[in-house]
Amino acid sequence: MTHLDLPPLRRAAGVVRLPGSKSISNRTLLLAALAEGDTDIHDLLDSDDTRVMLAGLRQLGIGIQHIGADSYRIGGAGGAFPVKEAALFLGNAGTAFRPLTAALALSGGHYRLSGVPRMHERPIGDLVDGLRQIGAVVDYLEHEGYPPLALKPAAVRLSAPIRVRGDVSSQFLTALLMALPLTGERAVIEMTTELISKPYIEITLNLMARFGVNVERQGWERFVIPAGQRYRSPGAIHVEGDASSASYFLAAGAIGGGPVRVEGVGRDSIQGDVAFAAALEAMGARIEMGANWIEASAPTGGRLRAFDLDLNHIPDAAMTLAVAALFADGPCTLRNIASWRVKETDRIAAMATELRKVGATVDEGVDFIRVGPPASLTPGAAIATYDDHRMAMCLSLAALGGVPVRILDPGCVAKTFPDYFERYAEVTAPVIAIDGPSASGKGTVAARVAATLGYHMLDSGALYRLTALAARKAGVAWDDEAGVAALAATLAAEFEGERILLAGEEATEAIRSEEMGVGASKVAALPAVRAALLDRQRAYRRWPGLVADGRDMGSVVFPWAECKVFLTASAPARAERRYKQLIAKGMPANIDLLLQDLRERDARDSARSVAPLQKCAEAELLDTSDLSIEQAVAAVLGWARDRIH
């Protein structure tokens, strides 16, 4: 895809489960590879950078098994890599290139490391200088101070401290810290300049300790690795959600109203980028936090406040603040961000260029950027992304100014967050939630409203009917909560226009039977089944918008929906509609039995303990007993346009 057009967005609210942290994922993979024993890594990020690391480790002789959706078993080498000659292509993955350079320099083999052209423009001289100080043999193959590199066996000497700069990239220190325990000797690293991005070093030290190696940190100037330590597998380890990725959604909540909750990071996180939430709070955003979640909402009754902040401690997440500055009440200054210059692109120059496209006034310096927000954003800006995942994700927030935005080369987000735009849509696409009792006309009305607006359609009732049908086919009783929930979690449902498929077989008519209607009502009363289908229903929220038809759409599934409607009708009116539908299809029907069935279903649905049938306080009530379909559709469209547009 050469570009992605984002529609004008005006609201952000919802829940996002974060992908695994890139920083933690690649550090954990390398430590597991160097450790004694097997390590099961769960919730590993699936992205370009982690695939690069996995491929490199396989080339170096590390056994890797895929044991689950996001889980891998790494067979540790118990020290240096077993393969002693290899040529590795590491793309643009700095979190793979820098640490592997150090580990391979101490592995006693012949290696060549290269990457994409941008990687060959990213400095690595400080790391190479540090390695050469202890006798490592590292040669530049093209330009002094930059990849590609050639590594050869060498006798390592650790009698003197390793002196290394810390003001270009903290990854150089991380690489040395993780590699030096391979020597088994006491090692000392001394910083010759102020260390940037200290929270990333905290991640490194935390993970090394989990693998059995403790580092004595003397301030931020000196690090001592005692002799005789070696990496040992902790057995299993879970990767936290990515705190840098959380920044986009938290900012969306602060800009677009919220609340937006991210799950996977919180107050117990080992990642420094959770401090982004504090920066948003300084701008006036309302922040709530739990052990494993953070939630952001817009300031009460006003714009975000302007800021002037030193952001050296959160350089990646700071990029999101540069875009949030578009929505502040005055000029905002981001200071001490010189490391932006040597990332996937020169992020200071790139950010200045792209923010000007949407109307901001921008000043840039060697290590700062100042953003003056426009009175209104310029619509239709084509945002260049420079093959930089964070540029694409950050600038997508500009659409929350109510203007269309074009993102060029959106596929670059695969580096760390392959389905970012789908997840962004799940908290920003407008939702019209239509609820009501059976046969109230909500399905027909919802379908016509969706067609008129060009929105996507979710028939949640069909999912429950499909679940009931799948249970019947599998011989699982409808009151077997665990059994039905297991089927719901893996339901092979497909929607092709008006056709509905179950495991590839036509199910459109089968699920519309009265029997499956009763089954759907019964399985929908089971808490585990509703929980199994919750995320699946939310995933239907896509641009330009969604009409969600079904029980508890506005109360549980999409409580933040911009427009909520509760359709109702008298039981006799609904029974007559159902009778006419069945007769029109050539099916036998008895109106008295239909009326009795509807009343029993209403009583059952209203009395159940989980998601009972009831109108949300903020939902519009529409009695369709005496309305035509056209009149009902017109009423819903009127409410939707008032609330969304």
CA distance 29 to 53: 8
- Rounded CA separation 444/531 (Å): 26
Cα–Cα distances (Å) from 491 to 373, 377, 443, 529, 591, in that order, read 47, 43, 21, 11, 33
- Give exposure, 531-563, as e/b (b: 16+ Cβ within 10 Å): ebbeebbbebbebebbbbbbbbbbbebbbbbbb
User: Strand runs (DSSP E) across 265-364, as ranges?
Assistant: 286-289, 293-297, 308-310, 332-335, 361-364
Neighbours of 361 (CB within 10 A): 12
Give, in degrees to the nearest 5, the angle at Cα 606 between 602 and 609: 140
β-bridge partners, 435? 566
Q: What does DSSP say about strands 286-289 and 293-297: parallel, antiparallel, or unpaired?
A: antiparallel
Residues paired with 506 in a beta bridge = 501
Query: Are the C-beta atoms of residues 644 and 430 closer than 8 Å to each other?
Result: yes
Is there a catalytic annotation at residue 329? no
Token pair belonging to 1: 């895809």
Catalytic residue from among 316, 409, 549, 552: 316
Distance of alpha carbon 330 from alpha carbon 294, whole angstroms? 26
Alpha-carbon distance of 641 to 645, in angstroms, equals 5
In sequence order, what are the residues at sequence separation of 6 or more whose Cβ sits closer than 8 angstroms to the Cβ of residue 424?
248, 249, 252, 393, 396
Q: End-to-end CA distance of the chain, in Å?
A: 29
For 589-609, the three-class secondary structure string (H helix, E strand, C coil) is CCHHHHHHHHHHHHHHHHHCC
Hey, what amino acid is at 460?
S
Q: In what order do the strands lie in the sheet with 563-568?
A: 456-459, 546-549, 431-435, 563-568, 620-623
CB 342 within 8 A of CB 316: no
Look up residue 399 and give its two tokens: 């659409």
The answer to whether residues 256 and 9 touch, using CB atoms and an 8 Å cutoff, is yes
Given a contact cutoff of 8 angstroms between Cβ atoms, the answer to whether 13 and 257 are in contact is yes
Query: The tokens of 184 are what?
Result: 């088994």
Q: Coil, strand or helix: which one is 557?
A: helix
**Count of CB atoms situated within 10 Å of the CB of 165:** 19
The amino acid that residue 467 corresponds to is T
Do residues 622 and 566 touch, judged by C-beta distance below 8 A? yes
In this structure, the dihedral spanned by the alpha carbons of residues 338, 343, 347 and 348, taken in order and rounded to 10 degrees, is 10
Which residues are tagged catalytic?
316
